[in-house]
Structure 1
Amino acid sequence: MDTLASRIRLEDRECPLSTTVQHVGEWWTLLILHDAFDGYTRFDQFQDSLGISSSMLTARLKTLVADGLLERRPYQTNPVRHEYVLTELGRSLRPVIVALAAWGNARLDPSQRSMILVDAKSGEEVEPVVVDAVTGHRLDDSDAYSFTAGPAASDAMRARYANNPEGRRRPV
């Protein structure tokens, strides 16, 4: 069986991007999470919204629960039916989903955008950006920010960032 975990290279297993993709890198997973952020909780709501097969939705929901992103709770006893509610860990992915949607919208003319992010109070469209929490500087400047090995990095990860052609940190 070809799983996301089996597709990750051994040397990337400690990489936070690779491990994140393992949890949310599948097409339906991101769309289910998006629907959950829009308030959907029930199997039939997800299925109607996405047009996904029952077996695929069951598998994706099971994985999201196992990964701790959704919690499965009974909402009806006879017959027993469950809803799927975002956990704190799942809710922490909202900025990632917002950033992905903003990236997609940035490539469209404003008149072609089918979904926009607005300020809940004013109703005005907002432009999401990712910034450093300490400085407030945008992180999309590849000359200003780069990845490097962290304190828990293996020798392979340290070598990845120590042995680049220019002998400096790689821009992100």
Structure 2
Amino acid sequence: MVTRTRFDDSECPVARSVDAIGDWWSLLIVRDAFDGSRRFGEFQRGLGVAKNILTARLRTLVAGGILASVPASDGSAYREYVLTPKGEALFPVIVALRQWGEGNFFAPDEPRSRLVDRRQGQGLRPLEVLAADGRPLAPGDTVVHKVDGDG
């Protein structure tokens, strides 16, 4: 079996973030948690992922502090998975991926799910990367100051 490369001690924030999330299943689990999924069966039905894979990903997300396993809200013997503050902080990442996907993988008239403001029922403005003074930034407007040359 191939040993997975770990980045949890990297000086690069992107590498550490990818290490914490792990793979696409984990991001889709987080997406579904934002959409209201809480129980193992809900995640499994919504994603169509094998139970062993889902079990492993949920354990990793709980161990990483992204989800918490809590007693079921209905008092049953089941456990539920809820986003922690660390997990909720992934909201802009999920929105950015959604907006990137909408702009790059769908024809303009192609049907797709929409994320809307619950209060007004309107779509969201595109996310922007802003400088401390509020200026929009493009990739060429930034530079990474590396510590050890890895990130």
Q: Give the structure-2-normalised TM-score.
A: 0.86
Point out the structure with the larger strand share: 1
Instruction: Kindly report which structure 2 residues correspond to 1:9-28, keeping only aligned pairs within 5 A, or say none.
Output: 13-28=10-25
> Which runs of no fewer than 5 residues in structure 2 stay unpaired?
none
Please identify the structure whose Cα radius of gyration is greater. 1
Q: CA deviation at 1:87?
A: 0.2
Percent identical: 42
Q: Provide the secondary structure at the position in 2 that maps to 1:13.
A: coil
| Structure 1 CA distance for aligned equivalents of residues 48 and 119 of structure 2 | 32
Deviations 1:145-171 (A, max 9, x none): 22223xxx2xx33xx79xxxxxxxxxx
Aligned letter for 2:132? V
Instruction: Kindly report which structure 2 residues correspond to 1:93-132, keeping only aligned pairs within 5 A, or say none.
Output: 93-107=90-104, 108-132=106-130
Deviations 1:125-160 (A, max 9, x none): 223213226323333x122122223xxx2xx33xx7
Q: CA deviation at 1:3?
A: 5.0
Aligned letter for 1:135? D
Q: CA deviation at 1:7?
A: 5.7
Residue aligning to 2:143:
146
Residue aligning to 1:47:
44
Q: Provide the secondary structure at the position in 2 that maps to 1:111.
A: coil
Deviations 1:42-71 (A, max 9, x none): 000000100111111110000000000000
Deviations 1:97-126 (A, max 9, x none): 110110010112332251222222222222
Residue aligning to 1:67:
64
Q: Provide the secondary structure at the position in 1 that maps to 2:139.
A: coil
Residue aligning to 1:36:
33
1:127/1:111 CA distance change after superposition, 3 Å: farther
**Alignment: residue pair count:** 149
8 Å contact 1:73–1:82 — kept in the other structure?
A: yes
| Structure 2 CA distance for aligned equivalents of residues 38 and 22 of structure 1 | 23
Deviating runs (4+, > 4 A) in structure 1?
none
1:57 to 54, 59, 78: 54
8 Å contact 1:102–1:127 — kept in the other structure?
A: no
| Structure 1 CA distance for aligned equivalents of residues 136 and 22 of structure 2 | 24
> Which runs of no fewer than 5 residues in structure 1 stay unpaired?
162-172
1:126/1:113 CA distance change after superposition, 3 Å: farther
1:77/1:121 CA distance change after superposition, 3 Å: closer
